Amino acid sequence: MQNSVPHTIEGVDIIRRTDRLDPAEVLAGYRQGIFPMGNSRRSFFTWHDPPRRAVLPLDAFHLSRSLSRTLAQARFQVTFDQAFVQVMRDCARWDAERSAGVWITEPVIEAYAALHQAGHAHSVEVWVDGQLVGGTYGIHLGAAFFAESKFHTQRDHLHRQNFALLDVQYWTPHLAQFGVTEVSRREYQAQLAAALAQPRSFESAGAVS
């Protein structure tokens, strides 16, 4: 998940740069195991292929005690694909508060919004008293979901839909507490190929309370 990318990774896993972000090219990139990032201080986009990839085994999700207590104390409503662009913008604001640069730029939002309209990108929203308090969005291909932001309830939905791969891109200590592990590029490519060969439906309609 790119809003927690270690600054030291930049320059290590960049494989190319482009001046524009075409939705079809973005989709093709995910099929190959690479992903783009923007930067508010630059006019180009970088494409990344980390030597080690963070994935969340969908049968090994761990709910921390603190998060479990939080969920028990509040009433959340979970929806799918009800506020895709809003989730992206909230992720961009979250990123801006925690790092020197913002990778979710307007061209990135436009490209992913187009993919959302085409049915390739989805969002999960979490609401409390009508206010958006959390969410995630990402790309869906076959039985793989490539998460671009983080929220733990995404795992429950993907597991029920029998997804095979949840790619969160970069490992962090925060994500590790939920069961995220690292795999080699070779192992990731094998998991990706297997997931892409399995058709799955995101089933985004409806809400869960």
pTM for the whole thing? Answer: 0.71
Contact 105, 162 (CB under 8 A): no
CATH 3.30.70.920 applies to domain 2-208: no
What residues does each domain of the chain span?
2-208
Distance of alpha carbon 119 from its chain centroid, rounded?
Answer: 15
Q: CA-CA-CA-CA torsion for 125, 7, 109, 168, nearest 10 degrees?
A: -40
Q: What is the pLDDT of residue 152?
A: 38
CA–CA separation, 89 vs 66, rounded Å?
Answer: 27
Per residue in 67-109, pLDDT tens?
Answer: 666 666 666 788 899 999 999 998 888 777 666 667 899 999 9
Q: How many residues does the chain have?
A: 209
Token readout for 126 is 């979490």
Q: List CB contacts of 28: < 8 A, sequence separation 6 or more.
A: none
Closest by alpha carbon to 138, among 193, 100, 102, 88?
Answer: 88
Strands (E), the chain: 14-18, 35-37, 45-48, 52-55, 77-80, 121-128, 131-141, 144-147, 165-169, 181-184, 207-208
Q: What is the mean pLDDT of the chain?
A: 79
Assign 155 a pLDDT band (cuts: 50, 70, 90). Answer: very low
